[in-house]
Amino acid sequence: MNISVTDVRAALEQLDDPDGSGDIVSSGRVKGLSCADGRVGFVI
């Protein structure tokens, strides 16, 4: 399976922030993504 960073970001934008301030990307809870050794992580 080949998943792009854009695909992951679009999926994250569907997740509501627990504080009720929009999605977890627009609220700033997740600031970005990091990719290393074939793994994707969140920059918080």
* Residues 5-43 pLDDT 10s: 788 888 888 989 888 889 888 898 888 778 788 787 888
Q: Would you state the pLDDT for residue 35?
A: 79
For the chain, what is the domain count? 1
Q: Would you state the pLDDT for residue 4?
A: 80
Give residue 24's Cα distance to chain centre: 7
CA contacts within 13 A on the Cβ side of 17: 14
What is the span of the domain harbouring residue 17? 5-43
- What is the rounded distance in angstroms from the CA atom of residue 19 to the CA atom of residue 23? 10
Q: Would you state the pLDDT for residue 1?
A: 64
Tokens describing residue 6: 């854009």
